[in-house]
Structure 1
Amino acid sequence: MLRKLFAAAGLAAGLSLSATAGSASAADTIRFAVTDIEGLESLQREFKPFADLLAEASGLEVQLFAVTSRNAAAEALRAEKVDFVLTGPAEYVVMQKMAKVTPVVGFGRPDYFSAIIVMADSGINGPADLKGKTVAFDDIGSTSGHLGPMQLLADYGLDPRNDVKSMHVHRNVAHEALKRGDVAAIGVNYRSWTDRNRAKDTETEPGAFKVIARGPDLPNDILVAGAHVDKAVVAKLRDAISENSAQLIAAVLQGEDNQKFRGMKFLPGVQDADYQYIRDAYATIGYPQYADFVGN
């Protein structure tokens, strides 16, 4: 079965999975959700290969569970309707407070950081030069396009809620607004911006843009377990992922929308303390309790 699965996936022959010790009964079923994918059809398209391989490696039946929003995922965790959820950093800190979730494994992404971009000929050379000017950010609540850039400005001594005029628009609109001079700067996920907006902008030379601030690498997307999930099951899943990381990463990357994970590495040692920067960012934007999702 596994060899057929690899063949269907287009993976190299000869790979094998290390099954976690112990056998699972038919009742050993876990329900797996992803917060940024709506609809079961989309979830299956992006994560069924990963779920199938994870089931083979862990000895657990893995059922994909579709959620309509991050709020729905948090409520499903609290109601024990879903067991494991893959979510983003901004969502994690709220879920941890709402549902007392347990970190299982991080989905480590290279070059995952926020940046402040200006036009190279704008005369703006640092964040301090943005005081009183308009800065465009991504959707409210976005880890890398809102929280990260806001905290980045704060790291450079600005009060992003009062020292700049902020606006929230789609990243494509923000990119064009920057070129026209409608905004002085944009706060972005640097890798997404370079891969999408800058790379596809054939009318503008890459040298026309300038990075005036680069934040630290952000905490990564994270697989969490509900408070109701037995610790032994959490450990079994973590071990299965750790022992079969290459195959499981290849399965993740079959999804078209999962290309943000290119170059990823599973981080089984992920800890709650790794997400303090996001908690600081919530405080910076005026939500120090991070008890609710912003932007809903």
Structure 2
Amino acid sequence: MSDNRWSANRRTFVKTAGAAGAVALAGCNGGTSGETDGTPTAQFILNPAEADVEITQQYQPMFEYLESEVEVEIEADRAESYTATLQSMRNDQGEIADISPSAVIAGEDILDIVGVRVAYGAARYFSTITTTPDSGIESLSDLEGELVYMGDILSVSGTLVPLTILQDAGLDVGNAPNGDPGNFEAEFSDHTTAREQMVQRDDVMAATTGAFSSAPYVPQEQFEEMSQDFVDISAEYEGAGDEIESSGTELQLLAVSDPIPRAPLATRSNWDSPVKAELEEAILNVSEDDLSHGDDYDGEPLWFTGVQEGSIDDYQPIQRVLDQLGLEFEDLS
């Protein structure tokens, strides 16, 4: 990263996240690659996006596919936070990671981008800001003085992009997500929790989440009125509103972001193993069938259907988000 990309007066992002990340890693077994019964092992760190998803089970087809293509044993760990995912890679506790787009920028010096994940033909996705129909909130400006529930502080679609949307609407984002917003309140967790807290709590006026979490509860016509890009690009458009009747929950759309590059799969740059190149090639060649569970599986399916070749250049839109917010990632090591 060139020295002139950041200005000296920028705030340091996640000033206290180093300690938080280290604590969060207590929930991550960690360990470096080695051998089990003569077979090389690789630690796959899983990024926690939704609280109600058994992500290790969700990823099982990917693990089985990689083990069938490469002589390797995949050992999976679910990190406790987005920060912990990056921390584990920086501390040589993982070899492969399902990582957030924001962590790509933070970990540019220690990560190799293998590819961008594709969901049903789309390598880009969307962030949303929603409210409940009876909240009295009609526009983003109405959120001044109110409580907004957001995603993880490193989540692009759950927090960082929504902050730029709120800022563009005239709200003062203050020191968020590393501190308090200026003229509204914020709480942080994950996509599912943000949405559910808004529905369950009268004091939460809006939720900022990825469209994968909100779209099933938003009538499709609302997306049609607000974003042609969402209609044309989003993998979530077809299923928009599908959960309203069965769940009894309907959300009101306040904002939709511009397209965001989907999260990548990455390997640790300093991982010196003959299986690294083989695994990277296998990841890029994975098919939708390879990632599918059997008919007897009743859990959440894996959200992506393939991986296309990618690089750090694909994540320049994330760099622009950080620039707009005046954020800088601190070295988390």
TM-score range, shorter chain: 0.5 to 0.7
Answer yes or no: is the 8 Å Cα contact 1:101–1:225 preserved in 2: yes
Task: Give 5+ residue unaligned stretches, structure 2.
Answer: 1-37, 175-180, 219-240
Q: Does residue 221 of the first structure (1) align with residue 259 of the second (2)?
A: no
Q: Which residue of 2 aligns with 1:274?
A: 314
Which residues of 2 match residues 112-261 of structure 1 at below 5 A? 112-120=125-133, 124-161=137-174, 164-168=183-187, 170-171=193-194, 172-177=196-201, 180=202, 182-195=203-216, 199=243, 206=250, 209-230=251-272, 233-251=275-293, 258-259=300-301, 261=303
Q: Deviations over 1:200-253 (max 9, x none)?
A: 6868674xx432310023332321111123597544323323334123321599
Q: Deviations over 1:85-124 (max 9, x none)?
A: 2222233333335xx2010122224683211223557675
SS of match in other structure, 2:43: strand
C-alpha distance in 2 between matches for 1:204 and 1:43: 26
C-alpha distance in 1 between matches for 2:152 and 2:281: 35
Task: Give 5+ residue unaligned stretches, structure 1.
Answer: 1-25
Question: Cα–Cα, structure 1 residues 45 and 280, in superposed 2: closer, same or farther, change >3 Å?
Answer: same
Q: Give the total of aligned pairs.
A: 253
Query: Post-superposition shift, 1:61?
Result: 0.7
Letter in 1 for 2:186: M
RMSD: 3.8
Q: Does residue 62 of the first structure (1) align with residue 73 of the second (2)?
A: yes
Q: Name which one, 1 or 2, has greater alpha-carbon Rg.
A: 1
Letter in 1 for 2:66: L
Question: Cα–Cα, structure 1 residues 248 and 221, in superposed 2: closer, same or farther, change >3 Å?
Answer: farther
Q: Which residue of 1 aligns with 2:115?
A: 105
Query: Post-superposition shift, 1:129?
Result: 4.5
SS of match in other structure, 1:268: strand
C-alpha distance in 1 between matches for 2:296 and 2:46: 16
Given the two structures, how large is their TM-score scaled by the length of structure 1? 0.67
C-alpha distance in 2 between matches for 1:167 and 1:80: 33
Letter in 2 for 1:220: R
Given the two structures, how large is their TM-score scaled by the length of structure 2? 0.60
Letter in 1 for 2:264: I
